[in-house]
């Protein structure tokens, strides 16, 4: 059984170009780190807001989310939904970076 957590947050980086560059860096670093702890997922960023799904063992996802929640680059961290699934949707992706037009994919995957 896989645990999934879907959250959104507001970026605190004011300059949109700088914010987008930071979002790309976050996704790249998360992809490497997440694979080492067997967490997969996807993230979107629209220049103001992040939306992300994390999937893996419940304890691992919750531990990572504690770190994410305390990241000073964002605020208004809001859990949209937590659920269990039979299999991963983002198998093989430490962190799949989606453009903001793919936000609907995250909603669909979570059944929100």
CA dihedral sign of residues 14, 20, 22, 23: positive
Q: Are 38 and 60 in contact (CB under 8 A)?
A: yes
For the purposes of burial, counting CB atoms within 10 Å of the CB of 102, is it exposed (0-12), middle (13-18) or buried (19 or more)? middle
pLDDT of residue 68: 94
Cα–Cα–Cα angle for 32, 37, 41, rounded to 5 degrees: 65
The model's pTM is 0.88
Please name which of 62, 64, 57, 103 lies closest in space to residue 84, comparing C-alpha atoms.
57
Distance CA 64, CA 83 (A): 16
Q: Which residue segments constitute the domains of the chain, with CATH numbers given? A: 2-110 (3.30.70.100)
One digit per residue, the tens of pLDDT, for the chain of length 112 reads 999 999 999 999 999 889 989 888 888 888 888 888 899 998 889 888 999 999 999 999 999 999 999 999 999 999 999 999 999 998 888 777 777 667 777 888 887 6
């Amino acid at each position: 059984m896989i645990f999934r957590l879907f959250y959104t947050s507001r970026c605190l980086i004011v300059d949109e170009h700088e914010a987008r560059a930071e979002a790309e860096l976050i996704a790249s670093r998360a992809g490497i780190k997440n694979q080492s702890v067997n967490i997969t997922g996807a993230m979107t960023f629209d220049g103001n807001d992040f939306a992300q799904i994390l999937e893996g063992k419940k304890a691992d996802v919750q531990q990572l989310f504690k770190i994410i929640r305390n990241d000073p680059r964002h605020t208004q961290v809001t859990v949209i939904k937590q659920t269990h699934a039979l299999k991963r949707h983002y198998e093989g992706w430490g962190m799949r970076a989606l453009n903001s037009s793919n936000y609907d994919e995250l909603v669909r995957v979570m059944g929100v």
